[in-house]
């Protein structure tokens, strides 16, 4: 496995941009807690990788920075070629709406909306019309194997199915980057295995997927692992 430094060099060399590129990124919170210390990392298009580490290692901070939900204290974060530091909050929102899909441990599904509605609402901020959103949502749900569960509310679905809905929501807009934060954390091993299988399938069809997990076993099942400890990549 190539070192992080080598990755950076290669990205610079081929004169293109990576889907996510972190150079010398540090993040410290009020009170002087340093969550990240000078992290360098590159995620190329089409990768499936894990950021793995124990709690407190800074992997959630990595998710927030790569997901442009937060800005680094120092260093450069580039997502799909855009330097986050130069973008306004509005532009970051637009970036997230079309280029990043999120999958959360707690699913974050709207209880009052059925599966189709939940996925379609994920496209609300892309500017697509309602009909278009629903068509793409149906396609995404079919893709994750829930084509027959369109009108089910979250409480009528199993945990694994809920996470599939959340994944459908994240990929419905075909973002270049899918961020999955502990996607199996709230699932039993069978449902978790199913979700990981789905992520592999999506990866096979070309989606770049970054999984954040504390679970070594899950991390080892992915082509690439970035290990974190005490705010640094090891």
Partner 1 sequence: MSRPNAPGLIDARRRGTSPGDRKRAREALRPARLRTSDLIRLGGYGLRLRPLRAVLSALGIAIGIAAMIAVVGISASSHADLDRELAKLGTNMLTVSPGKTMFGEQATLPDESVAMIKRIGPVQSATATGVVGTAHAYRNDRIPAAQTGGLSVVAAKLDLLDTVGAELSRGVWLNEATDRYPTVVLGATAAERLGTGPTVYIGGRSWVVVGVLQKVALASELDTSVITGWPAATTYLAFDGHPTTVYTRSVESQVEAVRAVLGATADPSAPSEVDVSRPSEVLSLRRATNATFTSMLLGLGSVALLVGGIGVANTMVISVLERRSEIGLRRSLGATKGQIRTQFVAESLLLSLIGGAAGALMGYLVTGSYALTQGWPTVVPPWVLAGGVGATVAIGAIAGLYPAIRASRLAPTEALAAA
Residues that bind partner 1 (CB under 8 A): 1-2, 7, 14-19, 21, 44-47, 64, 67, 69-70, 76, 78, 81-83, 85-87, 89-98, 100, 102, 104, 106, 108, 110-113, 121-122, 124-130, 169, 176, 206, 208, 223-224
Q: How far is the CB of 31 from partner 1 (least distance, A)?
A: 15
DSSP letter, residue 157: S
CA distance 10 to 19: 14
DSSP letter, residue 102: E
Q: Which is nearer to partner 1, 191 or 222 (CB)?
A: 222
Q: Which is nearer to partner 1, 135 or 193 (CB)?
A: 135
Angle at 64 between CA 63 and CA 69, to 5 degrees: 140
Q: How far is the CB of 64 from partner 1 (least distance, A)?
A: 5
177 close to 99: Cβ distance less than 8 angstroms = yes
Q: Which residues in 147-178 are b (16+ Cβ under 10 Å) and which e?
A: eebbebbbeebeebbbbbbbbbbbbbbebbbb
Q: How far is the CB of 46 from partner 1 (least distance, A)?
A: 4
Q: Which is nearer to partner 1, 31 or 112 (CB)?
A: 112
67 close to 178: Cβ distance less than 8 angstroms = no
Q: How far is the CB of 47 from partner 1 (least distance, A)?
A: 6
Q: Which is nearer to partner 1, 159 or 193 (CB)?
A: 159
């Amino acid at each position: 496995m190539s070192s992080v430094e080598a990755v950076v060099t290669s990205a610079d060399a081929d004169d293109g941009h990576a889907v996510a590129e972190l150079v010398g990124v540090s993040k410290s919170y009020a009170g002087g807690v340093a969550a990240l210390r000078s992290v360098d990392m590159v995620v190329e298009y089409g990768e499936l990788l894990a950021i793995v580490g124990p709690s407190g290692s800074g992997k959630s901070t990595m998710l927030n920075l790569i997901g442009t939900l937060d800005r680094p204290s120092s260093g450069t974060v580039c997502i799909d070629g855009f330097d986050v530091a130069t973008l306004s909050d509005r532009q970051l929102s637009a970036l997230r709406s079309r280029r990043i899909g999120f999958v959360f441990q707690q699913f974050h599904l709207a209880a009052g909306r059925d599966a189709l509605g939940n996925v379609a609402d994920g496209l609300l901020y892309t500017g697509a019309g309602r009909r278009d959103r629903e068509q793409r949502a149906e396609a995404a749900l079919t893709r994750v194997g829930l084509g027959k569960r369109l009108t089910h509310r979250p409480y009528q679905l199993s945990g694994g199915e809920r996470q599939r809905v959340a994944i459908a929501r994240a990929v419905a807009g075909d973002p270049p980057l899918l961020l999955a934060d502990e996607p199996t954390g709230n699932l039993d091993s069978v449902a978790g295995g199913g979700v990981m299988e789905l992520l592999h399938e999506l990866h096979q069809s070309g989606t770049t997927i970054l999984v954040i997990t504390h679970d070594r076993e899950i991390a080892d099942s992915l082509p690439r692992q970035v290990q974190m400890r005490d705010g640094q990549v090891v």
